[in-house]
Every structure is written in C-alpha cells, then in structure tokens.
Amino acid sequence: MKCVRRSLRRITRRLTRFLVEHSRWLRRSSVDCPTDPRPVQGRRAEWLAGWWLRAQGAHLLARRFPTPFAEVDLVVVDGSDLVVVEVKSRHGPGEINIHADQRARLVRAAQWIDAEYGRPTSGIRIDVIGVHWSERRWGWPTIEREVGALGECDRHARRDS
C-alpha cells in the first residue's frame, strides 16, 4: 500500500510540474492557433466558385486580384460583361452578408478595374457567390449566385455624371 501511495504522489508531482511548465500552451486560444481553418476554407470556396463559373461558361481572368481599394476574389468575363465576384463561405444554410463598408470598397475596386482594364463595349457588374458547406462531413456544398448583387456599375452612367 505504501508503494502505491508513493507512486501516486510521484505521478501527481510530475503531472503538476508538466501542467505548470506548459500552461501557456494549454491556454492558447483558437485566434493564436496557426492552423486556423478559415483561410483554408475561404481559398477552397474561391477555387470552387471559379470552377463553377467556368462550368457555367464564364472565362476566369484572375483570382485574388489586388486593387488599391480591396482584394477582389475573382475577376471573370461573362458574355460581354466584366464581372467582379465576391465569394462568401458559410457552414450550413445562411444569408450572404456584405456590410456597407465592404460594399463601398468592392464598388470602388470594380470601378478601378474597369478604368484600368475594361473594354469600351462591355459593362461591369458585381456578383456575390455564396458557398454553403454541408453540415455532414462528406456532403456536397451548395453554391448560390446573386447576379448584380450590389447594383450595376455602369460606366456610361459614371461618365455622364
């Protein structure tokens, strides 16, 4: 019995010492974690949205296109229109939310892309694609597209005003 108590005390001391030495590691939050799944999920959603748009007949010009105002997820030519695409990723069903600040940055980025690279005969619009991941581990994601979600960025209306 004496032996068992001694070994239990020894194990308790070792465990306490380990916990004290590694307490910082044990308290680390998910924000500090270098393996945060959100950026990976976002890149996956952008890739899937680009693949889906190509399957719909659009021509993909750029992914993660940097502008002075915002980084645009996808730049696509759909028919005769130049389309700036914002991709939103969610787990399960839900609405696609774009805040007013992000909306303004996207409109300015679309206008900048139009001024730098636009063709004179084409229009420009902003689409939002929502990728809703299934709750089941191996379920298929649902893709939802809102064409012209932020209104038309008509170049002719801007030039006249």
Residue 54 in any domain: the answer is yes
CATH classification of the domain holding 118: 3.40.1350.10
Full-model pTM: 0.68
Residue 23 in any domain: the answer is no
Residue 129 in any domain: the answer is yes
Residue 130 in any domain: the answer is yes
E-assigned strand segments in the chain: 59-66, 71-78, 81-91, 124-133, 142-146
Residue 17 in any domain: the answer is no
Domain that holds residue 73: 35-160
- Compute the distance between CA of residue 34 and CA of residue 151 in angstroms, rounded to an integer: 38
- The first and second tokens of residue 3, run together, are 């032996």
Mean pLDDT, the chain cut into blocks of 10 residues (161 residues total) = 74 70 52 67 90 93 92 91 90 72 91 83 86 78 83 48 35
Q: What share of the chain is helix, strand, coil (3-state, %, to 5)?
A: 40, 25, 30
Q: How many domains does the chain have?
A: 1
Residue 76 in any domain: the answer is yes
Residue 67 in any domain: the answer is yes
Our separate counts of H helices and E strands in the chain read 5, 5
Give the number of other Cβ atoms within 10 Å of residue 107's Cβ. Answer: 17
Give the CA angle between residues 91, 95, 97 to the nearest 5°.
105
Residue 123 in any domain: the answer is yes
